[in-house]
């Protein structure tokens, strides 16, 4: 007789959980996973009854699991959440168009409405257009910055109170390591804490947090006068796509960007109060 699941002691283990090191069977893994997420939601009071929650759905594995678990727990524990799927179409031929098909299937499978918002509609550029303009090297900066803001915008348009994303511990570690490699070593203690455990993430009371305000141009969340998305867009529209990403040689600092305040501010001044983002840990 081989090894048995360390929880039920009956079935054969199907996996070793990285989080606990336990070898567990499929059924016990599902139970533990669902239970832990429910506990996290309840103990941290992540939602209130009646909250409208945007489930950020890329069509990838993490957000598909997220859509599944949110609908399952909402029904099972009567959270009373008004869930919908929010998907951003970056306009990447052969990639996002395929995954959008998955999201459309999720809409039917989980019975919650889907809102798709494209970069083309929001910014006038698809990622394919941007790559043609800037090449392959720095296009991830545009994609990441625009996506983050597009999710905020979509959630606001759909009157969401909260947003759930499928970021996992690997994503957090990746962000931290990339920041380290880029020379952001100002917060080594906080970084070690995050790597040690995404779940125990705390911000030291002595840490100076950036002040959150709104972009003078588009009115969306920004800790700077103009948000990164507006700076990047300004560069694209002026035919200077490296504007927001170029660095002053040797200093490690971004080159200063001059951007004029113009146009109407979106009716989104309150967006910072309305939208808070949560991520569910797998
Ligand atoms: N185009 C998108 N539309 C909506 N939400 C997105 C989109 N891209 C990313 N997200 C959200 O951000 C999370 C993290 O995205 P990331 O690109 O790191 O992918 P990932 O970790 O591989 O997740 P997934 O497997 O869900 O794609 C996703 O789980 C999803 O909730």
What's the rounded Cα separation, in Å, for the pair 129 and 180? 31
Question: What residue spans of the chain are helical by DSSP H?
Answer: 26-43, 61-76, 96-110, 119-123, 127-134, 139-157, 169-181, 188-196, 228-237, 271-274
Residue 76 near ligand 1, beta carbon < 6 Å: no
Residue 99 near ligand 1, beta carbon < 6 Å: no
Look at residue 260 in the predicted model and tell me its pLDDT: 46
Residue 147 near ligand 1, beta carbon < 6 Å: yes
Residue 60 near ligand 1, beta carbon < 6 Å: yes
Distance 228 CA to ligand 1 centre (A): 20
Distance 59 CA to ligand 1 centre (A): 8
Is 222 known to sit in a ligand binding site? no
Is 89 known to sit in a ligand binding site? no
Is 221 known to sit in a ligand binding site? no
Domain boundaries, the chain: 48-166+210-279, 168-203
Which CB contacts under 8 angstroms, 24+ apart, belong to 103-109? Answer: 103/57, 103/58, 103/59, 106/57, 106/59, 106/64, 106/67
Look at residue 203 in the predicted model and tell me its pLDDT: 61
Residue 196 near ligand 1, beta carbon < 6 Å: no
Q: Compute the CA torsion angle 273, 274, 277, 280 (nearest 10 deg).
A: 130
Q: Look up tokens 């952001």; give the residue.
A: 184
The ipTM estimated for the assembled molecules is: 0.95
The answer to whether domain 48-166+210-279 has CATH 3.40.50.620 is: yes
What's the rounded Cα separation, in Å, for the pair 125 and 122? 8
> Closest ligand 1 atom, CA of 166?
29
Which regions in the chain score pLDDT beneath 50?
A: 248-282
Residue 170 near ligand 1, beta carbon < 6 Å: no
Is 62 known to sit in a ligand binding site? yes
Look at residue 191 in the predicted model and tell me its pLDDT: 58
Contact 52, 154 (CB under 8 A): no
Cα–chain-centroid distance for residue 16?
A: 27
Is 171 known to sit in a ligand binding site? yes
Look at residue 263 in the predicted model and tell me its pLDDT: 41
The Cα angle at residue 270 between residues 199 and 201, in degrees rounded to 5: 10
């Amino acid at each position: 007789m081989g090894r048995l699941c360390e929880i039920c002691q009956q079935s054969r283990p199907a996996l070793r959980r990285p989080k606990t090191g336990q070898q567990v069977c499929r059924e016990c893994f599902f139970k533990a996973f669902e239970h832990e997420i429910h506990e996290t939601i309840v103990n941290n009071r992540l939602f209130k009854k009646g909250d409208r929650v945007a489930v950020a759905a890329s069509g990838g594995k993490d957000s598909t699991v997220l859509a599944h678990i949110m609908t399952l727990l909402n029904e099972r524990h009567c959270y009373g959440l008004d869930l919908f799927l929010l998907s951003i179409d970056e306009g990447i031929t052969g990639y996002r168009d395929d995954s959008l098909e998955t999201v459309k299937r999720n809409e039917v499978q989980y019975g919650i409405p889907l809102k798709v918002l494209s970069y083309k509609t929001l910014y006038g550029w698809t990622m394919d257009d941007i790559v043609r303009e800037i090449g392959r090297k720095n296009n991830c900066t545009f994609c990441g910055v625009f996506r983050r803001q597009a999710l905020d915008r979509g959630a606001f348009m759909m009157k969401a109170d909260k947003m759930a994303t499928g970021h996992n511990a690997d994503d957090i570690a990746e962000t931290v390591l990339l920041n380290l490699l880029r020379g952001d070593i100002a917060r080594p203690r906080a970084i070690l804490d995050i790597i040690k455990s995404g779940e125990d993430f705390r911000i030291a009371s002595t840490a100076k947090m950036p002040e959150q305000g709104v972009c003078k141009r588009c009115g969306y969340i920004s800790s700077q006068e103009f948000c990164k998305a507006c700076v990047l867009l300004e560069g694209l529209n002026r035919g200077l796509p490296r504007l927001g990403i170029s660095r002053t040689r040797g200093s490690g600092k971004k080159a200063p960007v001059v951007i004029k305040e113009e146009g109407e501010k979106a009716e989104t001044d309150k967006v910072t109060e309305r939208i808070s983002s949560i991520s569910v840990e797998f």
